[in-house]
Amino acid sequence: MIDSAILKKSIKEKFGHSDCSIFSAPGRINLIGEHTDYNGGFVLPASIDKCISLAIVPNGTSTVNLYSIDYDESVSFDVDGEKPKQQWASYVYGVIQEMKKRGASPGGFDAVFGGDIPLGAGISSSAALESVFGTALNTIFKLGFDKRELAKIGQMTEHNYVGVRCGIMDQFASLFGEAGKVIRLDCRSLEYELFPFEPEGIRLVLIDTMVKHSLASSEYNVRRAQCEAGVAVIAKYKEGVELLRDVALEDLDAHKGEMDPEVYRRCHFVISENQRLLDGCEDLSRSDYALFGQKMFRTHEGLSKEYGVSCEELDFIVEIARSVEGVLGARMMGGGFGGCVLAMVKNENHDEYVAKVREAYQKRFGKDPRVIDVVISDGARQW
């Protein structure tokens, strides 16, 4: 988290305010539950100790004045005016517009913000930005939104002002997260339950492949279509089937011959992943982190072999994880074709794992991976 003293100094230098309100909202990880969200299933995210923080003061006008510490760039716009050209400012503008659609009237304000969420690592800096401004505006203008509505406001900001048709997991995790807990979120009902995640002597580490394959967006749409094709087959025989969430493995296997083999594999992964997540929550309830870690490995195997969204670099890092004593589990995290591997590692084996990955990855791919240690921490809040 960026130091509050830096924020206070910056808002005084930029806008002359000696007093201000400080807010922060975190990025997130997802421990198990990949490509389950758009199939009506479950996800298991957690907020982390990497945040975007802001200092904010209402200015009594309809003008928004922003300064991004990270970009060293200033933007001003009217709350009723046109969307700013800078993409980072579009997130703030979108949050305001989505609040107005819901009958609220946020006024103008001066704000400075910055953060320590590594960009491009797949830990949701955009959701953190939406969540921190949503929380701040809701508080200082007394708008009365609950956290569920703030999550929807963030999601619709992405849809309508940024052009990303994201699910709601990232915003939900940023707003509802708690230190030492993961969130089992039902993506269909938005009901959630918190489960303990405080493994003694164990750390979470992300290894960023620094790879962003162009396949990700187009293949995402292909996977959605394949899942829908599988659902269409089962729906001919079973009432009430609308999403893969509604399909049991026995139903899928009973009609396997009517599906393209690739469609069957995609559906098999999603149904299995949903059950794996539910079983994993039981592991956490018993503090059985070793068994939970094995499920992480199986998730990666399914994503790679059945769902076909891994890549050579991700598989390589997971194989190294399997070879290092003390790595309880590891898997690719996110949409796929690049991004990060999330690993659960005993403290005494952390440095060995990181060193082995760095050396082998550099030798194999000629580049250094980015290493990001994370701790499960609280969600959006005022300081």
Catalytic residue annotation: 170
d(CA 244, CA 230): 8
Within 10 A of 80 (CB to CB), how many other CB atoms are there?
Answer: 9
Would you say 340 and 332 are in contact if contact means Cβ atoms under 8 Å apart? Answer: yes
Query: What is the residue-wise DSSP string for 29-56?
Result: EESS--S-GGGT-EE-EEEEEEEEEEEE
326: enclosing H helix or E strand: none
Placement of tokens 């299933």 in the chain: 41
Main-chain phi, psi angles of 285, to 5 degrees? -60, -30
Query: What is the residue-wise DSSP string for 143-171?
Result: ----HHHHHHHHHHHIIIII-----SHHH
Within 10 A of 240 (CB to CB), how many other CB atoms are there?
Answer: 6
d(CA 314, CA 207): 9
Alpha-carbon torsion 207, 50, 73, 150, what sign?
positive
- Helix residue ranges per DSSP H, the chain: 4-15, 87-101, 125-140, 147-157, 169-176, 215-235, 249-254, 261-285, 289-305, 312-323, 347-365
Placement of tokens 């993409």 in the chain: 87
